[in-house]
Amino acid sequence: MSGHAQTIAAPLSADRWQPQLVLHTLASSPAGLDLFEEIGTVLPVRRDQEIYGQDDPADYYYQVIGGSVRTVKLMADGRRQVSEFLMPGDLFGFDELDRHDFAAEALENALVKRYSRRVVEALAQRSMPLAQKLRHLTIAKLRRAHERLLLLGCMTASERIATFLLQMSDRAPASAKAWIALAMSRRDIADYLGLTIETVSRTLSVLRVDGTIGMLKKTRIEIRDRAALECLASEPRH
């Protein structure tokens, strides 16, 4: 169970990537992870492939089954903002009005389950518990957005990085929280935290040098001094 994200994250070349390799992970996904076991279609998505585009009509709701996904917004001048990093079990694309505000792209080869919006809403129309659940999910997203507003509004670069690392660590599969597999690039992290690539890189280097974190292969980070990170993350700037 802890290994299925890794299976997908394993460095498979795009050409050699085979759906069935990841499909078996569906069976091993935690019970109850699916919103509706019986409906919805599982789709394999390649690294960097778009699941839906910005301003696309919001005809489907999605859930990450394996791998990971980012939602991004692009501005006219090329500026980019990453809104969320989504892990197995996370739902996305369901709190839109008519069109998606963001595009969704796979961070790595992934599996997503797609639900027809029409069907889900029809079900919700009939089932109050489901309607409640949808609302609570949206409220949870809103709360997350508020946390990020705090981060972007009040925190310094090192505080943002510390917060990000702890967040990633907490969301990682229950095993081995001390080791974080970062499926996203430095650019993704930068655009998520409102920083530049260089600042992200420099800040991580500082943490590595002072022994707070360990880094092997750029994409694997070890938390050596969680207390130090928590201290950084807890205090807004000044």
Partner DNA sequence: CGCGCATTTGACACAGCTCAAGTTAGGTGG
Partner DNA sequence: CCACCTAACTTGAGCTGTGTCAAATGCGCG
Q: CA 218 → CA 2, 147, 181, 210, 227, distances in Å?
A: 21, 26, 9, 17, 22
Percent composition of the chain: helix, strand, coil (DSSP 3-state, to 5): 40, 25, 35
C-beta of 136 vs 218, nearer to a second copy: 136
**Among the listed residues 147, 198, 210, 235, the single contact to DNA using CB under 7 A:** 198
Query: What does 169 bind: a second copy, DNA, none (CB cut-off 5 to 8 Å by kind)?
Result: none
The partner in contact with residue 177, picked from a second copy, DNA, none with C-beta cut-offs of 5 to 8 angstroms by kind, is none
CB of 189 to DNA, least distance (A): 8
150 binds DNA (CB under 7 A): no
Query: Which CB atom, from 157 or from 172, has the smaller least distance to DNA?
Result: 157
Cα 25 from Cα 170, distance rounded (Å): 22
Angle between helix 128-154 and helix 157-171 axes, rounded to 10 deg: 150
Instruction: Give yes or no for a contact between 107 and 49, defined as CB atoms under 8 angstroms apart.
Output: no
In terms of CB distance, is 24 or 187 closer to a second copy?
187
CB 198 within 8 A of CB 204: no
Q: CA-CA distance, 71 to 154, in Å (whole number)?
A: 23
200 binds DNA (CB under 7 A): yes
Shortest Cβ 70–DNA spacing (Å): 13
Residues 21, 6: Cα–Cα separation, whole Å: 12
Contact segment (CB under 7 A) with DNA among 57-65, 120-128, 186-194, 222-230 equals 186-194
**From 21, 199, 225, 226, residue interacting with DNA (rule: CB under 7 A):** 199
- The CB-of-141 to a second copy minimum distance in angstroms stands at 6
User: Is the CB of 37 or the CB of 77 nearer to a second copy?
Assistant: 77
The rounded distance, in Å, linking the Cα atoms of 157 and 21 is: 39
Given the rule CB under 7 A, which of 12-20, 84-92, 94-102, 110-118 is the region that contacts DNA? Answer: 12-20
